[in-house]
Homo-oligomer: A and B are copies of this chain.
Amino acid sequence: MKYSFKNDYAEGAHPRVLQALLETNLSQQPGYGLDDYSLQAAELIRNQIDNPTADIYLVSGGTQANLLVLSAFLRPHESVVSADTGHIFTNEAGAIEATGHKVHGLPGTDGKLSPESISKLIEQHQNKPHQVKQKIVYISNATELGTIYSRSELIALYEFCREREMYLFMDGARIGHALMAETNDISLGDLGKYTDAFYLGGTKNGALLGEAIVINNEKLQPEFGFHLKQKGAMLAKGRLLGIQFQELFKDDLYFKLAQHANQQAMKLKAVFTEIGCEFLCETFTNQIFPILPERHIEKLAEKFDFYVWKKLENDHAAIRLITSWATADDVVETFSNEIKNLK
């Protein structure tokens, strides 16, 4: 079977995570997120983001986290603004609309939003009460294109939201990879300070499943647990999530795994650059989008699995390669040699 660079959730969990599940298996615990492990994981996260009053909820996946947060925070006539590459706009089967809310998809630059673009959208929605009211700005970091926000971009968006009485919510399915990118200048403490809510993705960074929703804004905290139950997101054995996040955040395992994934991607990027490749957009995380002639793509596809992301002119296309905590050095080496052989 071919090795797959299609995504970062092809394997199970990091061995330490599985080991933690084994060790705690027969301890009797309360259900529904009140187990010791979940409580301790929450405390670890609060410390890491330097926000002692944050509320933490552990849930199964990213779409679930997005729909929980957005439907809990929005009143019926309020909408959410996303880049048009945003996961909630394109790839969640209408999950947000199913909770009753419009998602605006703004053409972004490299998958990112700016106060200017949001401001323009708001200006076009001043015919009250005939038009929805924009209330939440949704950003992904890393984005769906592998790009990341800078600290100043994050603060600018947060301050914009403050001025407009809006909320800033960050989809952190790949926040580990974003924070460990060599070009990143956002700290964990910034996440605790310059977002109203965000989540730390586990599924794509070493866990079997799990995203840790963090609600910084105290006004948005009350009664959030009801929403988890109502949307079917509250696991009876919440311990399953607690144990994993406790392990991941115990001694920076989470960040080491993300760093490993990034490094493997950067190795591949270097080789593509070496042979003169261009990229759809420049990334420093675990996703790269090299542009290749189709015959080269076919050649690589003989031994490896990956997505052809975008057809381009002159028989070229961008492919998407994703690495993970599980991407081994020998695989990277083999693939690198294949790339070099393309010339």
Contact = CB atoms under 8 A, between A and B. Distances in A.
A115 interface: no
B21 A12 contact: yes
Nearest to A305: B28
A236 B93 contact: no
Contacts of A95: 229-232
Contacts of A31: 7, 9-10
Interface string A78-105: 0100000000001111110111111100
A223 B75 contact: yes
Contact of A231 (B3, B21, B232): B232
A166 interface: no
Contact of A24 (B12, B64, B102, B235): B12
A130 B92 CA distance: 5
A40 interface: no
Interface size, A (range) = 35 or more
Contacts of A231: 67, 95, 98, 231-232
A239 interface: yes
Interface string A224-240: 01111111111111011
A128 B309 CA distance: 16
A276 interface: no
Given A1-B28, A26-B326, A225 B129 contact: yes
Given A11-B25, A76-B98, A234 B61 contact: yes
B60 A60 contact: yes
A152 interface: no
Contacts of A92: 130, 229-230, 232
A203 B237 contact: yes
Contacts of A91: 127, 130-131
Interface in A232-260: 232-237, 239-240
A156 B234 CA distance: 34
B101 A94 contact: yes
Given A76-B227, A100-B100, A232 B21 contact: no
A101 B67 CA distance: 14
A329 to B, nearest CB: 15
A195 B72 CA distance: 27
A13 interface: yes
A133 interface: yes
A126 to B, nearest CB: 12
Nearest to A89: B102
Nearest to A105: B105
A204 interface: yes
Interface of A: 1, 3-4, 7, 9-13, 15, 18, 21-22, 24-32, 60-68, 71-72, 75-77, 79, 90-95, 97-103, 127-133, 203-204, 208-209, 223, 225-237, 239-240, 326
